[in-house]
Structure 1
Amino acid sequence: MAADRQTVLAWLADLAATIVSDVDDLADVTARIAAAPALDSAAFATEALALMRIIAESVTAPDDFDRISVPAMATGETAKASEILVAMGAAIAGCRAEWPSRPAARRARSRVSSAGDAGAEAAGTLGGDGADLYAWLSAVTAISCRLISEIAADAAPVIRIETGISLPSTVLAYQLYGDAARADALVDLAGSATPMVMPTQFDALAS
Structure 2
Amino acid sequence: MAADRGAIAAWLSGLAGMLVTDALDAVDLANRLSDATALEGQAFAAEALAIMRVIAESVASPSAFDILAVPSFTDADTSAAAMVLGTFGLCVAAPRIAWASRPQARAARVRIVGHGEAALGVVSRAGGAAVDLYRYLSRLIEIAVLIVSEQAANAVPIVRVETGVSLPSSVLAYQLYGDAARAQSLVDIARSATPMIMPIAFEALES
Identity value in percent: 50
Aligned to 1:125: 125
Secondary structure class of the residue paired with 1:204: strand
Write the mapping of 1:105-184 to structure 2, written as runs, cut at 5 A: 105-184=105-184
For 1:147 and 1:72, the matched residues in 2 are separated by 28
**1:169 partner letter:** S
Q: What CA RMSD, in Å, does the superposition of the two structures yield over aligned residues?
A: 1.4
| CA displacement, residues 70-113 of structure 1 (integer Å, 9 cap, x when unaligned) | 22335310000000001110111111123221110110011011
Write the mapping of 1:9-158 to structure 2, written as runs, cut at 5 A: 9-158=9-158
For 2:120 and 2:6, the matched residues in 1 are separated by 23
For 1:193 and 1:88, the matched residues in 2 are separated by 31
Secondary structure class of the residue paired with 2:202: strand
**2:51 partner letter:** L
For 1:55 and 1:192, the matched residues in 2 are separated by 27
8 Å Cα contact 1:170-1:183 kept in structure 2 = yes
8 Å Cα contact 1:7-1:74 kept in structure 2 = no
Aligned residues: 207
For 2:165 and 2:140, the matched residues in 1 are separated by 47
For 1:190 and 1:44, the matched residues in 2 are separated by 41
For 1:14 and 1:49, the matched residues in 2 are separated by 15
For 1:203 and 1:92, the matched residues in 2 are separated by 28
Deviation at 1:42, TM superposition (A): 1.3
For 2:183 and 2:25, the matched residues in 1 are separated by 33
Secondary structure class of the residue paired with 2:17: helix
8 Å Cα contact 1:169-1:197 kept in structure 2 = yes
Secondary structure class of the residue paired with 2:172: helix
For 1:31 and 1:196, the matched residues in 2 are separated by 42
For 2:187 and 2:203, the matched residues in 1 are separated by 10
8 Å Cα contact 1:109-1:145 kept in structure 2 = yes
8 Å Cα contact 1:120-1:137 kept in structure 2 = yes
| CA displacement, residues 108-161 of structure 1 (integer Å, 9 cap, x when unaligned) | 011011111111111111111122211211110010000011111222111111
Q: Name structure 1 gaps, 5 residues minimum.
A: none
Runs of 4 or more consecutive aligned structure 1 residues displaced over 4 Å after TM superposition: none
